[in-house]
Amino acid sequence: MTDSREGVNRVMAEFVPVTKVGDLSPGQMKWVAVNRERVLLANVDGMFYALSDACGHQRVPLSKGRLEGYVVECPLHFARFDVRTGELLSGPAAADVPRHEVHVEGDTVYVKRVESAR
């Protein structure tokens, strides 16, 4: 038997504070460290999204690419991914990019790496 309140606390504890809301303007992205892994954090119209910061083709950091609306473009061979889902939209990559959970509380952005994401 699990105490439900304890369960909620455990889930929240997995979220890591990564930046202040005001430090990443709409239309911008940057990489942040979450449990020693690079994570791409993007602000699209005030909503924050997080993906693994590695292209699904040759693992180049997507944070060095371009963000246009909901689309992030790899700087090397220009594969394009939807930052909301990590879905591959076009380009030579063979795989989607793992998406991570984002939580905003007050002026702080938190990210929780999804278990299956690498």
Closer to ligand FES at the Cβ: 57 or 113? 57
Identify residues 42-101 at the interface with ligand FES (CB under 6 A): 55, 57-58, 60, 74, 76-77, 79, 91-93
**Number of residues this chain uses to bind ligand FES (CB under 6 A):** 11
- The contacts found for 48-51 with CB under 8 angstroms, 24 or more apart, are 48/21, 48/24, 48/102, 48/104, 48/109, 49/83, 49/84, 49/99, 49/102, 50/99, 50/100, 50/101, 50/102, 50/111, 51/81, 51/83, 51/86, 51/97, 51/98, 51/99, 51/100
Interface positions with ligand FES (CB under 6 A): 55, 57-58, 60, 74, 76-77, 79, 91-93
